[in-house]
Amino acid sequence: MSPAPDGRPIFLEIADRIADDILVGLYAEETQVPSTTELSVHYRINPATAGKALNRLVDDGIVYKRRGLGMFVVTGAPEALRARRRAAFTDEYVRPFLAEGARLGLTLEEILDLIRKDQR
Amino acid sequence: MENAEILQRMCFVREDQRYNDAFSVRDILAVAPAFYPTWSSEVADRLTERFRLPMRTRSKKLSRGQRSALAITIALASRAAYTFLDEPYLGLDASSRAIFYEELVGEYAVHPRTVILSTHLIDEAAALMEEVLILDEGRIVLQTGVEEASRGSFIVRGREAEVRTLVADRDILTERRLGGLLSVTVRGELREDDHELAEELRLSLESASLQDFVAALGIHSLDRATDRPETLEKAS
Amino acid sequence: MTYIRRSLRLYLANRSWALYTPLYILGIMTMFSVIIAGIIGISVGYPLPDDIVQNMRYNGGALYAPPGFLFSVGVLAMNRNFSMALAFGSTRRDLWLGTSIGFLITSTLVGLGSLVFLALERATDHWFIGARAFDVQFLAEGDLVRTFTTMFLLAILSLYAGAFFGTVFRAFGTVWTAVSAILVTLALLGVIALAVWQSSLTSELWDSLGAWLLLNIAAVLALLAAAGSYAVNRRAVV
């Protein structure tokens, strides 16, 4: 795994992927997530980077450490993640989306039409 | 005088390592443990299997990739406190390189040690590293954490006048032109208001990969080197 | 000591190379001697007549056969094993000492192997037809001490000569290897010239020491080669 083209650190990238997997239920609440070693081998990254990714999730209250056992998903983590992602949805998706629409000269009504068409 | 205590904690096997012509891969891997109290035959067995090293083949008859695979096997199985890997991937195909990276980080995670890996395949190896040291003709031009190094430069692209406005007071590494457009690699990190400024000036900002950064440093130093004869002439 | 033992294990990593092949060479040389004697016998009848047996007493196969291979063992042991030992974190000195013990083992084996062949040769009444490979004139026709000492010194001289040139090559490159080969040859010719010039002293020594004179010279040469390889070894780089 190499750094993302936008220069985003790898450990954030990895933390996001694990969070994605928790969000969709691949790692259920109170089950174990991959260890530092497993992550570093899988993504071929330095174990320190993998450790940073897990620590990031610990700081965010998504996973917690059980001594001698590993990292486990916090009860309620999927809900917390969903709430957080909803809050960020406007900034991360809606605004850039509207900005691109404006560059292309689309009106709000036209954009909404496109969305409705795609939904069907 | 060489210090035997220190040397036995080091392993420095290269792809172009010379072995005794009479020795087979099996002979070499049988004798290597004698030199390392920390040797792991488990690692050696796993790697020879994954790399499909031909055990009965004499060292002289090994292909380049097989020599690299043997060097990697010895280096990782040695578990030496200081392991040097000098461009260990020469002759290895992409899947063997993937095995190497996987085994390297896996071994390192379980048995931490200092691994000094020299490489020209920078982006491929960047994520494995913690620290980067860039040498130019034997001088250290950069020594920093790999994340800092990855943020160590950025590329500005746009019309020349606007690009010049943004990069006016910065450390420019290289400039390249495409028609009326100028693309400049700048050393250093982006400033807070750079994105706004770029939007205003209709410039594109990209973070440069570590490989771009190193290439730019190299070109920068080559360009300076071609200036050198002039200064020499003046001096004489 | 453990460090030296490692270098010895490196030398012995391929047993057939360091230990058995020299013995095979002695065996093959014996076999060829017997076959040639057998071919001669086809026309003159068995057992071989006296004049042929007299010729076979001067069979020099035991002297000519081993040095070439042992020289190459010496070269590889100090040249290739050097780069291996250093990659594996050994020191130059330990490599030299461990390899020297290995040389002693190989040479002793060559000496003992020669004694075994000699015993077989005598027990079978010279391979049933009067063929000789070890019961020969310059090995003092069955003298165990002379046979062992001669073959041992021949082996260790070959090994250290190889080691010397292998080390010079590693330390100073092709040109200096050629130069040192020329210098060594000149020095040997000089010693021979000296021996001829002082022929009365030489014949006096020969009379008192006999073949032991040559064995002493071989021993001195082996020591010189060993000392030379040790001195150069300290300067060598991978």
* C-beta separation of C142 from C122 below 8 A: yes
Query: Given a cut of 80, is residue C3 above it in pLDDT?
Result: no
Per-domain residue ranges of chain B: 4-118, 148-235
Alpha-carbon distances, residue A112 vs A28, A86, C199 (angstroms): 36, 20, 117
In sequence order, the β-bridge partners of residue B177 are B182
**From the candidate CATH numbers 1.20.120.920, 3.40.50.300, 3.40.140.10, 3.30.565.60, the one assigned to the domain spanning B4-118:** 3.40.50.300
Domains contained in chain C, number: 1
**B11: closest CA of chain C, how far (Å):** 5
* Residue of chain A minimizing CA distance to B190: A7
Q: How confident is the model at residue C1 (pLDDT cuts 50, 70, 90)?
A: low
CATH number assigned to the domain comprising residue A49: 1.10.10.10
pLDDT at C233: 83
- Contact between residue B169 and residue B150 where contact means Cβ atoms under 8 Å apart: no
Closest CA to C206 of C197, C195, C194: C195
Residues A59 and A109 placed together within one structural domain of the fold: no
| C187 located within any domain | yes
Do A27 and A53 reside in the same domain of the chain?
Answer: yes
Of residues B123, B128, B146, nearest to A44 (C-beta):
B128
**pLDDT tens by residue, B193-221:** 888 888 888 898 888 888 888 888 877 77
pLDDT of residue C97: 93
Contact B12 C83 (CB under 8 A): no
The pLDDT score that the predictor gives to residue B72 is 94
Q: What is the pLDDT of residues C189-213, one digit of tens each?
A: 998 898 888 888 888 887 777 778 8
Predicted local confidence at residue B236, as pLDDT: 29
CB contact under 8 A, B128 and A2: no
* pTM for this model (two decimals): 0.79
In a domain, C98, yes or no: yes
Chains A and B touch (3+ CB pairs under 8 A): yes
Enter the DSSP assignment of B24.
Answer: B
A2 found inside a domain = no
The answer to whether the Cβ–Cβ distance between C84 and B18 falls below 8 Å is yes
Give residue B56's pLDDT.
Answer: 93
CB contact C232 to B (< 8 Å): no
Provide the terminal-to-terminal Cα distance of chain A, rounded to the nearest Å.
Answer: 37
Residue A37 sits at the chain B interface (C-beta within 8 Å): yes
Percent of chain C residues topping a pLDDT of 90? 46
* Per-residue model confidence (pLDDT) at position B229: 40
Position C179 in a domain: yes
Whether residue C125 contacts residue C142, with contact meaning beta carbons closer than 8 Å, is answered with no
Tell me what pLDDT residue B231 has. Answer: 33
Q: Which residues in chain C touch residue B34, judged by CB atoms under 8 angstroms apart?
A: 5-6, 9-10
Q: Output the pLDDT for position A16.
A: 93
- Structure confidence at residue B57 (pLDDT): 94
Best CA proximity match to A54, nearest among A40, A36, A74: A36
Least confident span in B37-51, C41-55, C176-190: C41-55
Give the separation between CA C82 and CA B155, rounded to whole angstroms.
Answer: 48
Q: Is C54 exposed, middle or buried (0-12, 13-18, 19+ CB in 10 A)?
A: exposed
Residues of A in contact with B105 (CB under 8 A): 40-41, 44-47
Boundaries of domain holding C106: 2-233
pLDDT at A53 > cutoff 90: yes
- The Cα of A76 is separated from the nearest Cα of chain B by a number of Å equal to 31
Instruction: State the residue range of the domain holding A16.
Output: 10-75
* Domain count across chain A: 2
Has residue C24 been placed in a domain? yes
CATH 3.30.70 assigned to domain B148-235? The reply is yes
pLDDT surpassing 90 at residue B140:
no
Nearest-by-Cβ selection for A45 from B98, B105, B150: B105
| Residue A71 shares a structural domain with residue A82 | no
Query: Looking at the predicted structure, is the pLDDT value of residue A2 above 70?
Result: no
Q: Report yes or no on C238 lying in a domain.
A: no
Separation of alpha carbons C81 and C90, rounded Å:
11
- Does ipTM exceed 0.90? no
What distance in Å separates residue B5's CA from the closest CA in chain C? Answer: 9
Q: Where does the pLDDT of residue B9 fall: very low under 50, low under 70, confident under 90, or very high at 90 and above?
A: confident
Nearest to C76 among B2, B10, B21 (CB): B21
- The whole-angstrom separation of Cα B78 and Cα B167 is 49
Per-residue pLDDT of A54-86, as tens digits, reads 999 999 999 999 988 899 999 999 999 999 999
What is the average per-residue pLDDT within C5-30? 93
In this complex, do C14 and B4 lie within 8 Å of one another by their Cβ atoms?
A: no
| pLDDT at residue C145 is higher than 90 | yes
- The residues that bridge with A66 in the sheet, in sequence order, are A70
Task: Say if residue C231's pLDDT is above 80.
Answer: yes
Better-scored residue on pLDDT, B207 or A5: B207
